[in-house]
Amino acid sequence: MSDVAKTIEALWKIESTRLIAAIARVTHDIGIAEELAHDALVTALEVWPEEGIPDNPGAWLMKAAKRRAIDSLRRGRMLVQKHVEIGRELEWQQQRLGDAFEHSLDQVIDDDVLRLIFTACHPVLAVEGRIALTLRLIGGLTTAEIARAFLVPEKTLGQRISRAKKTLSEAQVPFETPSGDELRCRVESVLMVVYLIFNEGYTATSGDEWMRAALSEEGLRLGRMLGQLLPGESELHALVALMELQASRNAARRGKNGEAVLLPDQDRSLWDYAQIQRGMTALEQAQRLGGGAKPYALQAAIAACHMRARTAEETDWYRIVLLYDALLQINPSPIVALNRAVAVGMLQGPAAGLDALDAAATLAGDSELAGYHLFPSVRGDLLMKMGRLCEAREEIQRAIAMTKNLREQELLANRLKQLEKAAF
């Protein structure tokens, strides 16, 4: 890639969100807004290598998008706003559109960006559509980059994005920031999408290393950005805290052969203490806003307990169990119960952990989660600590059969080896 092309790519990542958001204020349709913004980019790619990069690239792109909008209108390809009366003079529409763009150009406001995020994460969309649209419109990622990150063919991803845009358009989703009761569930959707993006990068063990790191960094960036746009939402700060605290362990999570290293075995000197500090600050902010007992804040508080311990032995399991108890109250999920069982096992010994695990398994019942490999894996660990080695071996073998993840299999196979060395 030439230097100019690289610079244009960088500028796109910086400018595209605000550009699309400002255009969408005029068009009220994020699909059309993105196309216009993209057309402007294509023009830039033609013009800038010849004429040089303008001093204010954002304003240049906005002007180019405006020209394209008026062109499309002239050719009758674009319906401006759905509530514009049919039969109005085209010229008037053009004038109006021009003015609206001029206005939008002058003041791209943060609210536009917020509206864009809320629209991309709208619950009318399938979750995977929300993720793809968010990465594309707010992350400035190309379809190819998103496809690479999610290990799907570019064509599939492209279809996913157009389907999402079509759904928004058909459902006539307004380009606005929700208010009142609706705000809560819409914020929840945004939080979920951001955390899923982060986690895709953080936990996936296959696929492109570089792209995965980019995804978790993008999740964090989105979180920080939202924390600025909605400073009063405690759960946004809590989510940022959770992501910062998890990401701060990155350098310690892989051994030198790429194998997974679990929390108790990590070299804590490799943790990023500046990042831990950022996470702690975000968590304090969430707590100051009165959201200390909400789900992300509790999860962040649990992560914070781990990060405060200088050695695995110093971990405050008592506090962690309490936090899991609180989390279980608001979110009685088998996964939370499973994690709680691990903490109970650490605090009160493996027998108590096993009881807690039975309760978690009951909660899972016949659901899909009953087939989750961590159930037998944790059970195997607890049994091993109790010296019930035959049963432990069976559980670990079951766990291996239940996961398709190679790194997990590797980890479990190692544990099986240790177990067999100790017992047989």
Partner 1 sequence: MRFMMILIPRGYESAAPDALPSAEAAAKMMDYNMSLQKAGVLLALDGILPPSAGARISYSDGKVTVTDGPFAEAKEAIGGYWIIQVRSREEAIEWFRRAPMSNNDVVEVRQIFEMPEFPEDVQKARKASSTGTS
User: What does the alpha-carbon distance between residue 347 and residue 131 come to, in Å, rounded to a whole number?
Assistant: 38
Q: Of 33, 225, 342, 360, which lies in the binding site for partner 1, with binding defined by CB under 8 A? A: 225
Nearer to partner 1, 109 or 390 (CB): 109
Contact 8, 40 (CB under 8 A): no
**Judged by CB under 8 A, does residue 367 bind partner 1?**
no
Identify the three-state secondary structure at position 315: coil
Which x/- pattern, by CB under 8 A, does the window 274-293 give for partner 1? Answer: x---x---------------
Least separation in angstroms between CB 336 and partner 1? 29
**Binding positions for partner 1, 83-122, rule CB under 8 A:** 110
Contacts of 266 by beta carbon, 8 Å cutoff, 6+ apart: 249, 252, 253
Distances in whole angstroms, Cα of residue 160 to Cα of each of 130, 146, 206: 9, 11, 21
Stretch that binds partner 1, among 88-96, 181-189, 270-278, 404-412 (CB under 8 A): 270-278
Burial string for 118-155 (b: 16+ CB within 10 Å, else e) reads bbbbbeebeeebbbbbbbbbbbbbbbebbbbbbebeee
**Judged by CB under 8 A, does residue 260 bind partner 1?**
no
Nearer to partner 1, 131 or 298 (CB): 131
**Judged by CB under 8 A, does residue 7 bind partner 1?**
yes
**Judged by CB under 8 A, does residue 6 bind partner 1?**
yes
Q: Return the ∠ at Cα 37 (arms to 7 and 166), rounded to 5°.
A: 130
Radius of gyration of the chain (CA): 25
Q: Which residue from 350, 357, 319 is spatially nearest to 336, judged by alpha carbons?
A: 357
Least separation in angstroms between CB 26 and partner 1? 22
Contacts of 9 by beta carbon, 8 Å cutoff, 6+ apart: 1
**Judged by CB under 8 A, does residue 352 bind partner 1?**
no
Identify the three-state secondary structure at position 397: helix
Stretch that binds partner 1, among 182-190, 271-279, 287-295, 329-337 (CB under 8 A): 271-279
Q: Of 156, 203, 228, 418, which lies in the binding site for partner 1, with binding defined by CB under 8 A? A: 228
Q: Of 23, 32, 168, 214, which lies in the binding site for partner 1, with binding defined by CB under 8 A? A: 214
Stretch that binds partner 1, among 2-10, 283-291, 344-352, 398-406 (CB under 8 A): 2-10
Nearer to partner 1, 12 or 296 (CB): 12
Contacts of 360 by beta carbon, 8 Å cutoff, 6+ apart: 334, 337, 338, 340, 341, 375
Q: Of 38, 67, 96, 221, which lies in the binding site for partner 1, with binding defined by CB under 8 A? A: 221
Q: Of 89, 269, 366, 424, which lies in the binding site for partner 1, with binding defined by CB under 8 A? A: 269
**Judged by CB under 8 A, does residue 156 bind partner 1?**
no
Q: Of 217, 316, 394, 410, which lies in the binding site for partner 1, with binding defined by CB under 8 A? A: 217
Which H helix or E strand runs over 245? helix 234-247
Stretch that binds partner 1, among 159-167, 263-271, 288-296, 320-328 (CB under 8 A): 263-271
User: What does the alpha-carbon distance between residue 81 and residue 164 come to, in Å, rounded to a whole number?
Assistant: 19
CA atoms within 13 A on the CB side of 113: 20
Residues engaged in binding partner 1 (CB under 8 A)? 6-7, 9-11, 13-14, 110, 214, 217, 220-226, 228-229, 251, 256, 267-271, 274, 278, 310-311
